[in-house]
Amino acid sequence: GAWSRPESCPPGQRLVSFRLRVEAPRGLWDDTAANAVAAICSGGSVLEGRGGPQGTWGNWSIPCPPGAGVCGLRTRLEPPQRGGDDTGLNDLDFYCCA
């Protein structure tokens, strides 16, 4: 794939919540899994990456507590399927720090 343009919160704000657009498993068809991410900044701005159109948006994550923001992340990746249908990124966790 190609990198999209960077998105960032306005100065002085932090990322505080996110959601993913994920395509559910399609059986024998080509699965894509996570296709886009959106995030909310502490001031209320919404950032949305230019991902693929497949799938539906999930719920917003529980926001970071007041005064905290995202300071780390963890990804869930599907290992290579050796001839099966590879999906890549399947889930994402953000961690909050003050």
- The structure tokens 């080509």 sit at 30
Whether domain 15-97 has CATH 2.100.10.20: yes
pLDDT at 1 over 70: no
pLDDT in tens, 31-80: 777 778 889 999 999 998 777 777 889 899 999 999 999 999 888 877 66
Q: For Cα atoms 30, 34, 39, give the angle at the middle one, nearest 5 degrees.
A: 160
User: For the chain, which residues make up each domain, given as ranges?
Assistant: 15-97
Task: Specify the 3-state DSSP secondary structure of 48.
Answer: strand
pLDDT at 93 over 80: yes
- The structure tokens 């693929």 sit at 52
